[in-house]
């Protein structure tokens, strides 16, 4: 018997491209032009409603001023549901739409992606489960069988954390399974993402905090991840620096134009880190379960789970955590990486606390032992596990959740 010397872990890595982006003050005013460029004459405007902001009405006006017909679908909720995508698909087909304009954060953009997948396949009868990305069977074996999604999509982004306006993933709740389906289908990334700080400064401070910590996870997890892609390291570390320098001010004063513009860039750059191929880790893997079981904001659950998971991961990536500390402006350059990791994790926790997110016990949300069992089952087959820097077992997932209960 001989020992194989073949490289086993990730011999090939794929670098994916981000959607086109338009970023800057007044970017939303390009929505009509972008519809024209991408061949949309009748848009289904997909949104949660954004009540009280005037944003939906503003974008609708921009579209109509450019000759684009509009049908509004505002039945999307936080953590978009499979049945919402079905209703949106029915609305799209009934109105004779030829493209999507999503207005809002990740929920609106992902719902728009889900609708496009359904329209391209069997309409409202499409099962989104057929496109879910799992580790077993590995999702890459199924992708060649999918239809390319060529329905155009203009994503007008209003939050400082999602990144969904430029990424090739859609995250949709399966309400029967109680699981967040991660849909990876060729062509599902929006045709273009519009990031306008003028819309983002209308967020309430709590949303800036939640979405900002989501963006921090988007940058941190690929940076420390075991896929170890140099192309991802550059964008990830830059996003971490920008977030650590601007998130506090953006929460304290969303009308600070410099801070909110920097947050617009930071969240966009952070999403490139995972979308280009860096993947996520078990912060997302476990937060997905808390979010879907208790219908909590995705960024908020990432913030709750990030410290327990990253303290578990610390032994697998101390050099990377040291680099994160340097990017955050910490005096760790001449420390050994283990000590630097301790200081970095404390600083990340301080940032989270400064923007008003405590380490809330999961028992606050009536998270039970049955919920833990359900979460173990699904999180171990979540593709977020693949890039996590440290191997994780079901019992270790249980220990992490139990450490968060009280």
Please check whether residue 367 is in contact with residue 290, taking contact to mean a CB–CB distance below 8 angstroms.
yes
Tokens representing residue 293 in the block: 């079981």
| Residues 242, 357 within the same domain | yes
H helix or E strand, kind and range, residue 46 = strand 42-47
| Residues 284, 173 within the same domain | no
CB under 8 Å, gap of 24 or more: what pairs does 119-124 form? 119/89, 119/92, 119/93, 119/151, 120/147, 120/149, 120/150, 120/151, 121/147, 123/89, 123/90, 123/93, 124/86, 124/89, 124/90, 124/93
| Neighbouring residues of 219: CB distance < 8 A, sequence distance ≥ 6 | 235, 236, 237, 239, 240, 243, 266, 269, 270, 273
| Residues 191, 327 within the same domain | no
Strand partners, 405: none
Strands 42-47 and 69-73: parallel
| Residues 95, 171 within the same domain | yes
Where is the domain boundary, 180, 200, 220?
A: 200
Place of tokens 């219908």: 295
| Residues 90, 217 within the same domain | no
Please check whether residue 306 is in contact with residue 359, taking contact to mean a CB–CB distance below 8 angstroms.
no
Strands 99-104 and 42-47: parallel
Asked whether residue 337 is domain-assigned, the answer is yes
Asked whether residue 6 is domain-assigned, the answer is no
Asked whether residue 4 is domain-assigned, the answer is no
Cα distance from N-terminal residue to C-terminal residue, the chain: 50
d(CA 305, CA 118): 32
pLDDT of residue 399: 97
| Residues 327, 384 within the same domain | yes
Asked whether residue 11 is domain-assigned, the answer is no
Q: What is the pLDDT along the chain (406 residues), one digit of tens a residue?
A: 678 777 668 878 889 999 999 999 999 999 999 999 999 999 999 999 998 999 999 999 999 999 999 999 999 999 999 999 999 999 999 999 999 999 999 999 999 999 999 999 999 999 999 999 999 999 999 999 999 999 999 999 999 998 999 999 999 999 999 999 999 999 999 999 999 999 999 999 999 999 999 999 999 999 999 999 999 999 999 999 999 999 999 999 988 999 999 999 999 999 999 999 999 999 999 999 999 999 999 999 999 999 999 999 999 999 999 999 999 999 999 999 999 999 999 999 999 999 999 999 999 999 999 999 999 999 999 999 999 999 999 999 999 999 999 8
- Domain region containing 76: 20-200
Helix-, strand-, coil-residue percentages of the chain, each rounded to 5? 55, 10, 35
In order of 135, 148, 225, 351, the CA distances from 396 in angstroms are 18, 38, 18, 26
| Residues 214, 289 within the same domain | yes
Asked whether residue 2 is domain-assigned, the answer is no
Q: What is the tally of structural domains in the chain?
A: 2
d(CA 138, CA 134): 6
| Neighbouring residues of 325: CB distance < 8 A, sequence distance ≥ 6 | 332, 340, 341, 343, 344, 347
How would you label 266-286 residue by residue, b for 16+ Cβ within 10 Å and e otherwise? bbbbbbbbbbbbbbbbbbbbb
Strand partners, 395: none
How far does CA 181 lie from the centroid of its chain?
Answer: 13
Please check whether residue 181 is in contact with residue 245, taking contact to mean a CB–CB distance below 8 angstroms.
no
pLDDT of residue 254: 86
Asked whether residue 15 is domain-assigned, the answer is no
| Residues 228, 277 within the same domain | yes
pLDDT of residue 1: 62
Tokens representing residue 45 in the block: 């405007």
- Which CATH number do you get for residue 63? 3.40.50.1970
Residue among 298, 47, 280, 275 at smallest CA distance from 166: 275
| Residues 248, 372 within the same domain | yes
């Amino acid at each position: 018997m001989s020992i194989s010397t073949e490289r086993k872990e990730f011999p090939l890595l794929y670098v994916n491209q981000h959607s086109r982006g338009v970023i800057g003050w007044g970017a939303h005013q390009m929505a009509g032009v972008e519809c024209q460029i991408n061949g949309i004459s009748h848009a289904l405007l997909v949104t949660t409603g954004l009540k009280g902001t005037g944003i939906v009405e503003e974008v609708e006006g921009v579209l109509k001023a450019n000759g684009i017909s509009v049908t509004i679908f505002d039945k999307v909720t936080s953590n978009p549901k499979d049945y919402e995508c079905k209703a949106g698909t029915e609305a799209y087909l009934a109105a004779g739409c030829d493209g999507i304009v999503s207005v809002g954060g990740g929920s609106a953009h992902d719902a728009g992606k889900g609708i496009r997948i359904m329209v391209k396949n069997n309409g409202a009868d499409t099962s989104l489960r057929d496109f879910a990305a799992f580790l077993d069977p590995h999702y890459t074996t199924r992708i060649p069988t999918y239809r390319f999604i060529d329905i155009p999509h203009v994503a007008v982004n209003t939050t400082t954390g999602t990144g969904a306006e430029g990424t090739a993933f859609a995250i949709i709740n399966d309400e029967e399974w109680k699981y967040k389906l991660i849909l990876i289908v060729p062509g599902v990334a929006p045709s273009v993402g519009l990031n306008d700080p003028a819309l983002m400064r209308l967020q309430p401070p709590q949303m800036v905090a939640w979405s900002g910590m989501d963006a921090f996870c988007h940058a941190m997890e690929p940076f420390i991840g075991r896929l170890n892609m140099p192309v991802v390291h550059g964008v990830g570390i830059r996003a971490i620096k920008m977030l650590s320098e601007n998130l506090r001010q953006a929460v304290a004063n969303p009308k600070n134009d410099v801070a909110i513009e920097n947050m617009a860039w930071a969240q966009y750059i952070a999403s490139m880190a995972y979308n280009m191929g860096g993947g996520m880790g078990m912060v997302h893997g476990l937060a997905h379960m808390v979010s879907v079981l208790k219908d909590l904001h995705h960024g908020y659950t990432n913030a709750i789970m990030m410290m327990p998971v990253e303290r578990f991961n610390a032994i697998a990536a101390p050099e990377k955590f040291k680099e994160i500390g340097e990017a955050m402006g910490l005096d760790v350059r001449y420390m050994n990486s283990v000590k630097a990791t301790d200081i970095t994790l404390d600083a990340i926790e301080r940032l989270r606390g400064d923007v008003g997110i405590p380490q809330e016990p999961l028992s606050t949300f009536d998270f039970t032992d049955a919920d833990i069992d359900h979460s173990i089952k699904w999180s171990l087959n979540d593709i977020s596990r693949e890039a996590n820097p440290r191997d994780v077992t079901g019992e270790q997932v249980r220990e992490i959740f139990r450490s968060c209960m009280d």
